[in-house]
């Protein structure tokens, strides 16, 4: 009985900590990283720094938003499947509630000049954030001749054709695997 109460307390704490992280972090999942580290590594010692590095690798290599993957990883590590559910719901719920509230407010103020101006500014800010992410990722790209040609070809196909980017990503992955295999055969 005591262990069930303890697990329920830990799950509630996972939910509340990740809800606070989700509520007070702006700028996406990477902006949450320092808060997650401070809470789950430094304060609670639920996971180690090595676990945190593993969480980053897993969160980056699995589908879905970084924050969701990170919360699920930590929750599972700390309190099993129930902990994963609690942490994941905790990190996602604030954003969901904010989006719902904004959608009601947006419809009410859609034709307001000030709101229109604010959204134009937000769009410009989002463009800068996306451009910054592209530049950072571009620095990590294999800029060999094949890597550069592949990046330019993928960009051109995505921008100048109606082909779904899913196919572009799949094709680039297949080409990358083929290049890797051909390099192994050369050795």
Domain ranges of the chain: 1-109
Span 42-70, pLDDT tens digits: 899 998 888 888 887 777 767 778 888 88
Please give the Cα distance from 91 to 178 (Å, whole number).
39
Token duo for residue 159: 């921008």
Token duo for residue 132: 């910054």
Average pLDDT in the 79-96 region? 94
Token duo for residue 171: 């094709």
Q: Where are the alpha helices (DSSP H) in 39-112?
A: 49-61, 66-109
Average pLDDT in the 145-153 region? 84
Residue bearing the bigger pLDDT, 161 or 185:
161
Beta carbons within 8 Å of 175's beta carbon, 6+ residues apart: 150
Tell whether the model's pLDDT for residue 125 goes beyond 90. Answer: no
Q: What's the angle, vertex CA 178, arms to CA 173 and CA 184, rounded to 5?
A: 130
pLDDT of residue 103: 82
Average pLDDT in the 19-47 region? 82
pLDDT of residue 172: 83
pLDDT band of residue 187 (cuts 50, 70, 90) is low
Flag whether the pTM goes above 0.85.
no
Q: How many CB atoms lie within 10 A of CB 80?
A: 13
Q: Residues 32, 25: contact at Cβ < 8 Å?
A: yes
């Amino acid at each position: 009985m005591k262990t069930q109460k303890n697990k329920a307390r830990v799950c509630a704490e996972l939910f509340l900590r990740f809800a606070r992280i989700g509520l007070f972090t702006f700028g996406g999942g990477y902006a949450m990283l320092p808060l997650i580290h401070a809470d789950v590594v430094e304060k609670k010692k639920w996971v180690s720094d090595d676990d945190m590095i593993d969480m980053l690798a897993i969160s980056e290599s699995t589908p879905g938003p970084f924050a969701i993957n990170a919360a699920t990883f930590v929750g599972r590590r700390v309190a099993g499947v129930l902990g994963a559910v609690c942490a994941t719901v905790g990190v996602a719920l604030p954003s969901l509630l904010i989006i719902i509230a904004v959608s009601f407010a947006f419809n009410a103020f859609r034709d307001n000049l000030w709101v229109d101006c604010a959204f134009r500014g937000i769009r410009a800010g989002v463009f800068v954030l996306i451009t910054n992410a592209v530049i950072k990722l571009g620095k990590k790209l294999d800029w060999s001749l094949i890597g550069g040609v592949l990046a330019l070809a993928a960009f051109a196909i995505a921008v100048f054709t109606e082909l779904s980017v899913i196919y572009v990503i799949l094709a680039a992955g297949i080409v990358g695997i083929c290049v890797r295999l051909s390099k192994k055969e050369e050795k």
